[in-house]
Amino acid sequence: MSFWKKATITAVLTAMAIPLQAIPGWAEQNTFYVGDPSKRDVVSFDSDAPVELIKGTTNKIKGHVTYDKEFKFDTKHPFEIVFDVDLASIDTGIPLRNQHMRDNFLQTAKYPKAVFKARQIKTRSKHPMKSGQVVKLTAIGDLTIHGKTVPKTIPLTVTYFPESAITKKRFKSGNMIRIRANFPVKLAQHNIQRPEALFVKLAEEVIIKVDAFATDDKTALK
Rounded Cα distance between 84 and 149, Å, is 13
Q: How far apart are CA 60 and CA 72, in angstroms?
A: 29
**Cβ pair 64, 80 in contact under 8 A:** yes
Choice between 112 and 80, residue whose per-residue pLDDT is larger: 112
Cβ pair 28, 69 in contact under 8 A: yes
What is the mean pLDDT of the segment spanning 151-176? 96
pLDDT at 58: 98
More confident residue, 37 or 43: 43
CB-based contact 118:90 (threshold 8 Å): no
Give the amino acid at 14.
Answer: T
Least confident of 40-44, 120-124, 150-154, 206-210: 120-124
Tell whether the model's pLDDT for residue 77 goes beyond 90: no
- Whole-number pLDDT of residue 197: 58
Task: Write down the pLDDT at residue 98.
Answer: 94
Q: Greater confidence, 8 or 191? A: 191
CA atoms within 13 A on the CB side of 78: 5
Q: List the domains of the chain with CATH numbers.
A: 28-221 (2.40.128.110)
Per-residue three-class SS string for 113-178: EEEEEEEEEECCCCCCCCCCCEEEEEEEEEEEECCEEEEEEEEEEEEEECCCCCHHHCCCCCCEEE
Residue 46 pLDDT greater than 50, yes or no: yes
Determine the pLDDT at residue 216.
95
Q: Please, which pLDDT band fits residue 75 given cuts at 50, 70 and 90?
A: low
Predicted confidence (pLDDT) at residue 7 exceeds the cutoff of 50: no
Q: What is the pLDDT of residue 199?
A: 52
Distance in angstroms (rounded) separating the CA atoms of residues 66 and 79: 5
Q: What is the mean pLDDT of residues 166-176?
A: 95
According to the model, what pLDDT value does residue 200 have?
Answer: 55
For 37, phi then psi, to 5°, come to -60, -20
Q: What is the pLDDT at residue 73? A: 67
What value does the CA radius of gyration of the chain take, rounded to a whole number of Å? 20
Q: How confident is residue 19, by pLDDT bands cut at 50, 70 and 90?
A: very low
Q: How far apart are CA 211 and CA 65, in angstroms?
A: 14
Measured distance CA(175)–CA(187) in Å, rounded: 37
Query: What pLDDT is recorded for position 4?
Result: 39
Q: What DSSP designation does 102 have?
A: I
pLDDT tens-digit readout, 185-222: 999 999 998 765 555 578 889 999 999 999 999 999 98
Would you say 219 and 130 are in contact if contact means Cβ atoms under 8 Å apart?
A: no
Q: Where residue 74 falls among pLDDT bands split at 50, 70, 90?
A: low
Supply the pTM of this predicted model: 0.82
Q: Cα–Cα–Cα angle for 104, 106, 108, nearest 5°? A: 100
* pLDDT at residue 124, rounded to an integer: 82
